[in-house]
Amino acid sequence: MSVFDGLKFRKVKSPIHDLDPRVKFIYVCVIFAIALIFWELIPLLILFLIQLPFVLLGKVQRQWLRSLRGAAFLAIIIFVTNFVFSFIGAGYRFTAESLESAFALTFRFVVLVESFSIFFLTTSPDNLSLALEQTRVPYEFCFAFTTAVRFVPVLANEAQTIMDAQKARGLELERGNFLKRIKNYIPILIPLIVSAIRRSLELAEAMESRAWGATKNRTNLYVLRMNKNDFILLAITTGILITAVYIRLFIPIPSVCELLEI
């Protein structure tokens, strides 16, 4: 559940929180794309570091660290599998290069998590929905999307309660072999799914009885407008993108091993 906590939005006053979600989204996509076109350690490290100012400006260090901690398990798996495979690929020899490339791929994942977590930690679901609406996505979809995002923590809580209820009836999740253990989760999953469906139906009924969708042309109290900081971020993003593409195409990237002459 700590992974979800690391993505949960909290209202804080900061320049990053005030940014237009559309620009932030473009920024995340650009970081995402750059992370995918590099496989060397040094650029990925730089990519990781240039995002730190955003975390600090947004005053979300604690939650951001928690999301990274939540991702640590997957990161370790990525590191180990990459390392083992390059170890085998190199003919069962331990090389500094294989260590470096395993690190690089792990950092790629960390960078992705980092940028996503900055985005979700500093963008309120309401603003997100506004952004979707202003990009002409039909309101029904915007609403469904934000509701889904909003209900994730609720669902996580509910899963915990259900687990408690079944444990109180003698269910032992860690009992038996692999197959048996998967089967142990049936009494958890069914109530979870049933109650999610029940909840969504009830939500729909409750909303329709409060005249949801009565007016076809919705107007918004708040309208997103790009201001100075948004254009600055857009400029920075474009700058990063151009630099990255240029480096990728025309400049050979040294590896740490070469620099250290191992």
Partner 1 sequence: MIEVKNVYFTYPNGVEALKGVSLTIKDGEFVAIMGQNGAGKTTLVKHFNGLLKPTKGIVLVDGVDTRKVSVATLARKVGFVFQNPDHQLFSETVEDEISFALKNFRFEAETINKRVDWALNLLGLTRYKKTSPFMLSGGERKRVALASVLAWNPKILILDEPTIGQDYQQKEKLRHFILQLNAQKKTVIIVTHDVEFVAECNPRVILMSNGEIIADGEARKILTDPKIVTEASIVPPQITQIFIKLKNYGFPRDILDIYEAREAILNSLRKGFK
Do residues 96 and 262 lie in contact, with contact meaning Cβ atoms separated by under 8 Å?
A: yes
Q: How far is the CB of 175 from partner 1 (least distance, A)?
A: 8
**One residue of 165, 204, 235, 262 binding partner 1 per CB under 8 A:** 165
Q: Which of residues 20-39 bind partner 1 (CB under 8 A)?
A: none
DSSP line for 124-166: -HHHHHHHHHHTT--HHHHHHHHHHHHHHHHHHHHHHHHHHHH
Residue 23 DSSP SS3:
helix
Do residues 42 and 253 lie in contact, with contact meaning Cβ atoms separated by under 8 Å?
A: yes
State the DSSP code for 94.
-
Nearer residue to partner 1 within complex by CB, 90 or 190? 190
Q: Which residue has the tokens 């570091």?
A: 49
- Site mask for partner 1 (CB under 8 A), range 170-189, x = bound: xxx-------------xx--
Which residue from 10, 5, 7, 15 is spatially nearest to 228, judged by alpha carbons? 15
Count of residues in contact with partner 1, rule CB under 8 A: 22
The answer to whether residue 164 forms part of the interface with partner 1 (CB under 8 A) is yes
**One residue of 33, 36, 49, 190 binding partner 1 per CB under 8 A:** 190
- CA dist list (Å): 227 to 19, 20, 62, 233, 236: 8, 8, 28, 10, 15
**One residue of 195, 200, 229, 255 binding partner 1 per CB under 8 A:** 195
The answer to whether residue 166 forms part of the interface with partner 1 (CB under 8 A) is yes
The answer to whether residue 259 forms part of the interface with partner 1 (CB under 8 A) is no
**Whole-angstrom distance, CA of residue 129 vs CA of residue 139:** 9
Residue range at the interface with partner 1 (CB under 8 A); choices 80-88, 114-122, 169-177, 217-225:
169-177
- Site mask for partner 1 (CB under 8 A), range 129-158, x = bound: -----------------------------x
Nearer residue to partner 1 within complex by CB, 37 or 165? 165
State the DSSP code for 222.
S
Nearer residue to partner 1 within complex by CB, 186 or 232? 186
Tokens of 237: 């993003």
Residues lying near partner 1 in the complex (CB under 8 A): 1-2, 5, 158, 161-162, 164-172, 186-187, 190-191, 194-195, 198
